[in-house]
Amino acid sequence: MSQPLYPPPASPASASASREAVTALVLGILGVVCCPFTAPVAWYLGQNELRAIRDGRALAAGEGMAMAGKILGMIGTALLGLVLILGLLWALFFGGMAALQGLTNR
């Protein structure tokens, strides 16, 4: 048997996710785990990347990462809002209680 004249075709290179999709995912994870101020940024970047994929301006390979970043950004933003509201209520309640106690001890 003779050797083939042409080399076998190379497998197509797998498309990698865009930088924005990876950034959205990383910021989403950070927003949920330790730094909630990055969560709204992850939500924004994930939404923009999904829009770019839908419009054909970005590769579809990053769709999963962009969606995960967007969802984690939404969760992190909700947690951030909850923490801010609870902190505000705590400050108002205990600050108000301290002010009332200061008035009664005169």
Q: Locate 76 and state its tokens.
A: 């992190």
pTM, two decimals, is: 0.74
pLDDT at residue 2, as a whole number: 66
Asked whether 39 and 79 are in contact (CB, 8 A), the reply is yes
Closest CA to 87 of 28, 36, 31, 42: 36
List, for residues 53-69, the tens digit of each pLDDT value: 999 888 888 899 999 99
* Phi, psi of 59, rounded to the nearest 5 degrees: -70, 145
pLDDT mean by block of 10 residues, the chain; 106 residues? 66 71 95 93 95 89 92 96 90 77 74
